[in-house]
Chains A and B, each alone.
Chain A
């Protein structure tokens, strides 16, 4: 029975794109906010639900990076590679600085590219150049070396860094959470709301699946095609004030899986980023209130058992069961 407990984790790990040849390790840090999370979820998590304006805030889209809070002003390089791009904060306010602040892009084996942001890029570059031998034309960094963050940079306060990983062969921004073996997450995600909305345009009203009392969770709706929206949060580090998006959302209708969507990666397309199999750009993934659009469900006339399973990357799962009467 004990082994059964870890079955979901095994399944999830197998489903994730694992950069096998890449020796990549997310440095051990105090806290992190995961891939797919919305910027600002730290404060929003204090609220019982999300306000209608949240989704309309420009730039509030699922993150393609993870945010790391380090115990120090430094961050360890997750994998060795060649530095291909350095961006620095301008030293004066009259010059435009980009939001990622000091940033280093590193080319790794197997066409993986990582980008570490929130750095004191000038000092990072200086130390990399000091290590560079006269014969070397490329700037290389080694796994485990530290890069300085200084007093914060770009949108990152002191001791905070951004880390993203791109698989150039598959054109995917990869969720790197599986490359943090030091994390032991045993807390399941919290489902804050789950709703259905008619996807055939015949109505804009939401049907709330989560607002009904658990013992009498029964809804009635007309037959048709519905889009499923989930608002769920996950805490990866116990006691953390930083929240993450859930990893996988499964909808089971009468025992049959009808939605199976995950944040294992975001597809890179000409129109932008595609999360949870929604079309790009990434704002298509969100409803106006900031909840995630996770898939489509067709409800035929009759009575149905609908089960929603929301899991984190470690396989911890929260379940919501609803009895649906379709007229």
Chain B
């Protein structure tokens, strides 16, 4: 019988000074037109703000930006803007040329994947830069969780099944499903190197399960039960070094150590008045790793408009705080922290 570790220990985080290099703030008011973006993508980071999207040339400290309406996703090859009704998808290349994408879907980009999530949330399609469908997969249940590395995409469903597909759309792993007991997948995270997939699933008890790549498939290697169960969908992000996963749901942040198979609740002390919000009014979203053992989290304070801030956690401890930031991008050229009025480029970011 697998050992189940009931380890839900509160740890109080303190703010640490980050090992960051030079920071440059590039305001949107001085951004260049996207049509002027150099064709070479070396050292270029894509970013998405709440009303502006674009690219940062980290070598030249230049910002190329474009306002957008509705919603959008972006990667190195271009972007898709769309409306909430999923009926007006516009595909753009980095040259700014656009065309309508014939789909009733929401686009989702991550780690070289361009995915369309069907309007009924029961199917995905992989598309290429031109918007052509490479493959599509329909599920028998609504999708409740989604994450990808460069090599695999993991899809969790309402009935608890977990589907892992490769870049060709071939199913490499499926975990069982059913409603005899509630097994719903509430969140999933795939490690950047595809070695691990961590899943939050089930109720009574709610578990975190870890699957490890084994030959051409995956095998469950551990599970750990959570003391506090919740029916909320969660966002989860793996640290780049595979050491842990940060899990966010509502106003709760959890640290799950993959190798040690233990869970800790994160309590934040940001030291920032503007980020300190009352517990119930705050929501967290795990975004992505910002390198090494760090993970970026978006904190949202319920207000009109919502107050935002980015927290960078290192092993669940606060490493850096960016009040008012709305999103973050990272790559070899540094870290781009996106605000409402511009982008802070952190060069030499070594977490």
Contact = CB atoms under 8 A, between A and B. Distances in A.
Interface of A: 39-40, 53, 56-61, 63-65, 83-88, 90-101, 103, 105, 107, 111, 113, 115, 125, 137, 139, 152, 154-155, 157, 166, 168, 171, 268-273, 280-283
B106 A86 contact: no
Interface in B119-175: 119-123, 125, 133, 136-144, 158-159
Contacts of A95: 235, 285, 298
B104 A85 contact: no
Q: Is the interface of A mostly helix, strand, loop or mixed?
A: loop
Contacts of A99: 86, 105-106, 117-121
Contact of B106 (A96, A111, A168): A96
B316 interface: no
12 contacts: A59-B116, A86-B233, A94-B49, A98-B143, A99-B118, A100-B142, A155-B85, A157-B85, A166-B141, A272-B137, A272-B138, A283-B138
A28 B331 CA distance: 53
Nearest to B108: A96
Interface in B211-241: 229, 231-233, 235
A107 B108 CA distance: 29
A87 B233 contact: yes
A89 to B, nearest CB: 9
Interface of B: 48-51, 71-73, 84-87, 102-106, 108, 116-123, 125, 133, 136-144, 158-159, 178-180, 182, 184, 186, 203-204, 229, 231-233, 235, 283, 285, 298, 300, 302, 306, 308, 326-327, 338
A325 to B, nearest CB: 39
Given A86-B232, A94-B49, 11 more contacts: A39-B120, A59-B119, A85-B231, A86-B233, A87-B144, A98-B117, A99-B86, A99-B119, A107-B179, A111-B180, A115-B158
A84 B184 contact: yes
Contacts of B143: 98
Contact of A57 (B49, B103, B298, B338): B103
A103 B231 CA distance: 11
A85 B103 contact: no
A168 B233 contact: no
B118 A84 contact: no
Contacts of B49: 94
Given A86-B232, A281-B138, A61 B300 contact: no
B138 A92 contact: no
